[in-house]
Each structure stands twice: as C-alpha cells, then as structure tokens.
Amino acid sequence: MNLRRFRSRALPPVGDLEYAVDRQWSPGARLGIWFQPPRQVVTGRRARIRWWHRVRSVLLLTTFVAVGGVALATVIGVGIFLSGFLVEQAIG
C-alpha cells in the first residue's frame, strides 16, 4: 500500500475549529426562508435535546404520516374508481 496517499488526505479538524459558524446570516436566513449557516455544536455532557425539539419532531412526524396516509388513500381510491369506471365502459 502507498502510505503517502493516506497521509495526504485531510483529516477532520481537532478541537474547536468551526469556521462555518462565523459566517454572516443573509436576510433570507434571518427570515427562515433560506439556508442558515451552521450553529455552534455543543458536545460532551452539556449536549442535550431540548423539550421543544422533541415536541416539534413528534408533531412533524405525525403530520407527515397523516398527510402521506391521506395522499396514499386518495391515490388508491382514485385508482379503484377509475378501474371500476373503465370496466363499466368496457362492458357497456
């Protein structure tokens, strides 16, 4: 194996080297309608998931499942209706 190839690869940064956190927020990012730069990551024992993150996740998951279920039921219902209609047209 060629060890130079492995040594030349960039390793992940060690320590507090988050340069992207220092970027300015655009007006769209401030309004919440465009991409937001990454925030400072909390690691170690201080890393906690806030309760409102959990609540928001449960609400969004429930919404996605409900909307997906309604969409799937609509597609199946339209398919059954159209197949019945086409059978009636073929018989008549």
Q: How far apart are CA 17 and CA 38, in angstroms?
A: 13
Q: Sign (positive/negative) of CA torsion 42, 45, 49, 51?
A: negative
What is the residue whose two structure tokens read 């130079």? 4
- Look at residue 83 in the predicted model and tell me its pLDDT: 95
pLDDT tens figures, 28-85: 888 878 888 777 777 778 788 888 889 999 999 999 999 999 999 999 999 999 999 9
Q: Is the pLDDT of residue 89 over 70?
A: yes
Q: How far apart are CA 92 and CA 82, in angstroms?
A: 15
